[in-house]
Amino acid sequence: MGLTEIFLLSIASSIDALSVGASFGFKGIKTPLKSKIIICVISFAIILSAVVFGGFLRNFISDTTGKIIGAVLLFALGIYMMIGAFCNKEPVECDRDKSSNIDYKEACFMGIVLSADSFTAGLSAGMAGGAGFFIPVMCVIFQTTFLSLGEYFAKHISVYINKNRLGIISGLLLIITGILRIFI
């Protein structure tokens, strides 16, 4: 798995955090550093387990079959994200106690929600081989960055972030990564 592929995969599977962060910023919800760390740890564990499981599955299938299955998973995830964007799916409500602050329980839930798409990407990367520890690290970095940027832009700049466009862009990046995986 090449660096470009890892980079695209990490961005595409983490970009939902931008719209979640923006929705938090518009609503005045804050994500303290402790909560962001919890989100990172949970996301890292989920994505790493997906990469490890994908690597385990790789022992039972040929490299070509693993490449094809990984590409199909990414393509399907990309289509799913694009359909979700057209269906106007809203970000999951994470501030359940309406405190305008993401506590540790809500951060645990967010870590799981934000890494759901990344699980499939991690599984695909593990089946392709060569990504190892790098994919979970990159996904967590992009997830945290996008969450923070979304909060910042919504709070300080009041830029309208179109969630549909983010879903479409994310889906397209995953589809392109899947296609690259077949031909590279």
Residue 86 burial (10 A CB sphere; 0-12, 13-18, 19+): exposed
Contact 10, 2 (CB under 8 A): no
In this prediction, residue 90 carries a pLDDT of: 60
CA 98 to chain centre: 25
Query: How many Cβ atoms from other residues are within 10 Å of residue 60's Cβ?
Result: 8
Mean of pLDDT over the chain: 78
pLDDT in tens, 133-167: 888 899 889 989 988 988 888 777 655 556 666 66
Report pLDDT digits (tens) over 84-131: 767 755 655 666 777 878 888 888 888 887 787 778 778 888 887 766
Q: Return d(Cα 34, Cα 104) in angstroms, integer.
A: 8
CA proximity to 44, closest of 179, 109, 138, 123:
138
